[in-house]
Amino acid sequence: MVILTLNCGSSSAKYQVYDWDARDILAVGVVEKVTLGGSFINHKVKGKEEITHNHDCPTHVDAINLIIKFLTDKERGCISDMQVIGAVGHRVVHGGDKFIKSVIVDDAAMAAFSEMQDMSPLHNPANIMGIEAAKKVLPDIPHCAIMDTAWHQTMPPESFLYAVPYEWYENYSVRRYGFHGTSFLYTAKRAAVLLGQDPFKTNLIICHLGNGASVNAVKNGCSFDTSMGISPLEGLIMGTRSGDADPALPFYIMRKTGMSPQDVEAALNKKSGLLGITGQYTDRRDIQKAKLGGDKRALLSQDMEAHRVKKYIGAYQAVLGRVDAVVFTAGVGEFAFFMREKILQGLEDTGIVYDPRKNELSHTRNTETLISKPESKIPIYVIPTDEELVMTEDAHALMTGSYDIHTKFTYSFQDPGYVNKGRAEGLEAELKKNPLLESIIAKPK
């Protein structure tokens, strides 16, 4: 069976084609600037050079048609026609408390996703547009939804409830939901493999650090608490999102400036975070370059971001008691060693001791690394996430009738001998350029 996964944003459509029988990725790509004008596709087929092609996509339907055109192209494609696709897996950011696992998309599911739009205004509308567009273009193929929130449905009430009038929860579903669930699921399962432990006896603190960022406390292999809340705005300082702030702040700003609630919501989501602090940057690489050039606000943004992550690590150590490992993942967590350094400095007395040399060596998506010192009571891993593989496995299992909630389902990557073929090939080439990377590769105990 061949599985297509789609992750549609407001102006993008990411995709991957996976051959389940061969356990191999056939193609990956993204259509950028959908609806904005000047659209283009970056398309990479296994064994071939990456292609960039300009093609205007005023709608997501146009973007998905473009993806299909490239996937089935005789010279640039990877499949003969779309009939070989057994299922399409879609990322859905907010599934509320209605879903504890992935589902086959039907009218009831679409209605539930629509109900959640006001809780995730940056993501759910785009996810829904992507599903509707894909179903229009591929009406005869089953479509599956993989929810970021489903992983967190194991949180206890003391973690997910807010101290607000209880009827808000009863009447309006006001509670903490959490996000980045597919990433946390993958990294939690892989961390248990590296530790040589039963996944359901493993306690972890996982830092998913990217343009969007959150921390997850995993207790006995299940989500116990997380930094994002009813929406992806709460918690860490992010690229354009404020993260934690005094709840009175929006009312104060509205009184002072005359801004509307919609204006303030947009500012907190799109003009705050690292962009708000630096005035111009969201990419940590740009911020690091600016800091090295003497930009004091760039340095301030790094200090603030690291301070916030460090607070959550300390808080989750307290609520978990025993911590078996700290894990970094996602773009910043995997590559920005300078941010990991700022976050980990000063945690020695809590049992978390990083190795500066190992930390600096670790900037790869091709292997899992161990960056703690031998004397560290708590190991520190960098585990490249693989949300697309979780989406693929869920979609395949839904099609074969073998799928269940993660506590009753075993993923292929939980096998100690699991190998990602594409990453293995990339690692082989990377080791030729940087042989020292071999010294920090994490191996299952």
> In the chain, count of helices (H) and strands (E)?
16, 14
Q: Are 394 and 144 in contact (CB under 8 A)?
A: yes
Alpha-carbon distance of 135 to 415, in angstroms, equals 34
Rounded distance between C-alpha atoms, residue 309 and residue 64, angstroms = 37
β-pair type (51-54, 222-226): unpaired
CB 320 within 8 A of CB 224: yes
Q: Read out DSSP for 123-158?
A: THHHHHHHHHHHHHHSTTS-EEEEETTGGGGG--HH
Judged by DSSP in three states, 38 sits in: coil
Q: How far apart are CA 277 and CA 299, in angstroms?
A: 10
Structure tokens of 217?
């406390």
For residue 109, give both structure tokens.
């599911």
Check 19, 62, 148, 324 and give the catalytic one. 148
Match 């269940």 to its residue by tokens: 404
3-state class (DSSP) for residue 362: coil
- 184 within 8 A of 223, measured Cβ to Cβ: yes
Q: Give the up-direction half-sphere exposure of residue 181: CA atoms within 13 A in the CB hemisphere.
A: 31
Q: What is d(CA 28, CA 6) in angstroms, rounded to the nearest whole number?
A: 10
- Annotation says 148 is catalytic: yes
Give the residue ranges of DSSP H helices in 209-326: 249-257, 261-270, 273-278, 284-292, 296-320
User: CA 311: distance to chain centroid?
Assistant: 21
Residue where the block lists tokens 């934690």: 244
β partners of residue 104: 144
DSSP state of 439: G
DSSP state of 347: -
Question: How far is Cα 46 from Cα 48, in angstroms, rounded to an integer?
Answer: 6
Active-site positions read 148
